Structure 1
Amino acid sequence: MGDWEKTRNRRLEHGLAVPQSKAELLYAVEDGYGKLARDLVRVPETRAREMSLPGHKAETMMSPADLVAYLIGWNETVLSWHELRSRGIEPEFPAPGLTWNQLGDLAQRFYRDYADLSWPELLERFEQAKSGIVSLITGLSDEELYGEPWYGKYTAGRMIQFNTSSPYANARRRIRAWLREQSTTA
């Protein structure tokens, strides 16, 4: 293995490289989810609905449960884009009735969509959504994922990564900071 391969592998292991293949994308999703899930189980169920994290929309707050709802929402949105395309229907991006400059509003929608689920139900739904993403990726070839643009200039693989493994890493940073803060105030 050459030096560039070792560097790329090291960067992938630490979530720093942008996946360029089906195998790398699967690794990024599974690894990112696994690390985040280990941190999420450390959140006490009694504190999961505390509005103590900066929200995805300016000047708003969210709870750890809202953060998980956001991830579920994006995972399920990605799955719906692919399901619609498989039926020959062009999806509305990013979501029906919203544009890309309204992502804060979309986050608020995701929080509301899953507000009735308990903390354990949210974690289970997140696992199911991630499993759906893994099945989607597994069912596509490298060519389908990275061979041509899927939305604008972005490949299907890049769009999946933008809305799954990248937000997993961001969420993990947020939840780890929240857990550290909670341990100093408890």
Structure 2
Amino acid sequence: MAVPTNKKELINDIKTTYSKLKKDLEDIPLKSTKTKELEGHAKHTNMSVCNLVSYLIGWGELVLKWDRKMKNNKQVDFPETGYKWNELGKLANKFYLDYEHLSYLELLEKLDKVFVEILEIIENDSNKELYQTAWYGKWTKGKMIQFNTALPYKNARTRIRRWKKSKEIT
């Protein structure tokens, strides 16, 4: 799919990538979701399917937080307070810990909730707000949302499918 350049394309990209990812996540046996067998987000680490879903929730929650703060004219610490862009492996570990108390099914429910809330943000913003105004440095809001939703969904799906193939999970 081409990189979204407007509100309609962004909504379509997020819905399409999420739908495909969700389908791949739903048929994973529960007993396999906590085993750390997927390539991790930090170099030379492994993560579980639960960690991967936690990572997606974490980034989604950040998008929601950024939006809330920006709308209230508050300063946003990108990517997150206490983390720099070159410390994303550490941030991934934070997300794993933030949601480790949730079961796999609870994680999937939370991921759905975050997905819906992000779509609501997009629906409530104009195309101009999403793609014709700088939001963070040179990046538009639409681009930042896409960077932190659709692209990670695609990446996660690739990891899940590779792992499922290696484990002969169909």
Q: 131, 146, 150: which one pairs with 1:165?
A: 150
- 1:114-166 C-alpha deviation (Å, 9 max, x unpaired): 00100100000000010011001001000000012110110000000000000
Q: Tell me which stretches of 4 or more aligned residues in structure 1 moved more than 3 Å.
A: none
- Look up the match of 2:46: 61
Provide TM-score, normalisation by structure 1: 0.89
| 3-state SS, counterpart of residue 73 of structure 2 | coil
**Post-superposition offset of 1:23:** 0.3
Q: CA RMSD in A?
A: 1.1
| 3-state SS, counterpart of residue 31 of structure 1 | helix
Q: 37, 47, 50: which one pairs with 2:35?
A: 50
* Counterpart amino acid of residue 166 in structure 1: L
The structure having more radius of gyration, on CA atoms, is: 1
Give the distance between the partners of 1:54 and 1:169, measured in 2 at CA: 15
- The alignment covers a number of residue pairs equal to 170
Give the distance between the partners of 2:137 and 2:3, measured in 1 at CA: 18
**Post-superposition offset of 1:85:** 1.0
Structure 2, unaligned runs of 5 or more: none
Provide TM-score, normalisation by structure 2: 0.98
Give the distance between the partners of 1:133 and 1:181, measured in 2 at CA: 32
Q: 76, 87, 91: which one pairs with 2:72?
A: 87
Structure 1, unaligned runs of 5 or more: 1-14
Q: 20, 25, 28: which one pairs with 2:10?
A: 25
Identity %: 44
